Chain A
């Protein structure tokens, strides 16, 4: 398995506070992704990165921003957390598209916004 860690693994915060989730990989994969998982919705892509400083929006990007200053780190920031952002967040990495589109997932971060 790819070495992907997420921190923190659990977080409880209050509405209106900023939150940053970190994803760290040791596999030197070019692509990195942030998903949220909610009951009845499966996995939904928030943002992704196709290289250092290269990022793009996914299908549910409102209220989230990302940064990637190094190949191994991909940060997800909730500028002002809301209760609707209570979810489980997964980071994933990948080597490309098509035949190389397999993604490797981290263990997840459970975020609760009160």
Chain B
């Protein structure tokens, strides 16, 4: 069965510092991977997605993620964090084709940004 693990429940970084949020997945075939962001009191917004091809994908708000098949990872990065990036971040993997387009979500990583 597919699963997603986000090892860090909460991360604090200083504004202007670089950021890396970890995501590990379990999936037998080529995965379809997503990162979503949730600001307080809001719904989830898609940051970026990986389907195939180039393993480094660019997203909105200056985020990027790298797919590493050998490590079963899809880590999210940003070179310089802004205070407005404080939010909760969710990694997700697409379930098998016969499961109604479901996504399997990790438990989320809450990001705090210090001034």
Contacts and interface: CB of A to CB of B under 8 A. Distances in A.
**Is the pairing of A and B real?**
yes
Contact of B103 (A1, A4, A49, A101): A101
Interface of B: 32, 34, 36, 41-46, 49, 51-52, 90, 94-97, 99-103, 105-108
A104 B108 CA distance: 17
15 contacts: A31-B100, A43-B90, A45-B102, A56-B100, A90-B43, A94-B101, A97-B94, A97-B96, A99-B51, A101-B32, A101-B34, A103-B44, A106-B43, A107-B43, A108-B42
- Judged by DSSP, the binding face of B is loop
Nearest to B6: A42
Sort chain A's interface into a size bin.
Answer: 20 to 34
Interface of A: 1, 4, 31, 33, 40-43, 45, 48-50, 56, 58, 90, 92, 94-108
A4 B45 CA distance: 12
A87 to B, nearest CB: 14
Contact of B99 (A4, A43, A97, A103): A97
A42 B52 CA distance: 26
A97 B97 CA distance: 6
Nearest to B46: A102
